[in-house]
Amino acid sequence: MKYLFFFSLNIFLFTHAFSQDYKFEAGIQGGPNLSYFSYKNSFIQNARKPTDIQFSAGLFFQYNLSENFSLRIDPTFDRKGYQYKDITFTDNSGNILGTGKLYGHLDYITIPVLFKASVGNKVKYFVNAGPSIGLLLSETFIYDNPYGNGNQKTHNTNQYKKADAGITAGLGIAIPLGNAIALSFEVRNNVGLTNINKNSNANSAIHANTTSMLVGVAYKFGSN
């Protein structure tokens, strides 16, 4: 009887701990992103879509409203890249200078505020969405000189707006690694809504978009 009592007690404690609810989660996440810049400029002819693979990395903080719904904030470093290949450069008079490519990146701190919905018992499947703001840190622009003098690099951060508003949405899965630790995989898309170019000319409008593959580790705390 004594052994049966202790066995039952251990089962109860294990089950209670495994099913314990936590009000807060915090962690780190990161991974590659595919950047796409919607860019128009009268001096660049026949450009391909300026996509590039860069990366995102940051933190996240989550408040669980219930078992299935949460609010979270994800301050993230985003490097958004672009590259144009096989383009023709012209001068102000329309004279062809040569062909080549140009590429570069803009570094942001992006802060999305997300509403998250989850389903599942142990393994959680989730979707999230919400507004985001990007704060520009720096810009680097590189191009192949049409005259054959090699790559030219400039920093034109002051030509871009300091803030970029957007919409962020994602879907993924969270897998428990223990009572208070979970591993997550998420595909997330961030759509830039504002023209980040300071030039007010509509033909020079730039919108930055990214699709990220994020791997994260969360620590849960604040049990009920």
Is residue 171 within 8 Å of 186, Cβ to Cβ? yes
Helical segments of the chain, H only:
2-18
Between CA 56 and CA 132 the distance in angstroms is 15
Residue 45: the pLDDT is 42
Residue 7 has a pLDDT of 41
**Is 0.75 surpassed by the pTM of this model?**
yes
* CATH match of 21-223 with 2.40.160.20: yes
∠ CA 33-37-41, rounded to 5°: 160
Domain boundaries, the chain: 21-223
Q: Is 117 a residue whose pLDDT tops 90?
A: yes
Residue 85 confidence (pLDDT) above 50:
yes
Residue 14: per-residue pLDDT:
41
The per-residue pLDDT for 148 is 57
**pLDDT, position 84:** 74
Q: Are 87 and 46 in contact (CB under 8 A)?
A: yes
Band of residue 48 on the pLDDT scale cut at 50, 70, 90: very low
Give the amino acid at 11.
I
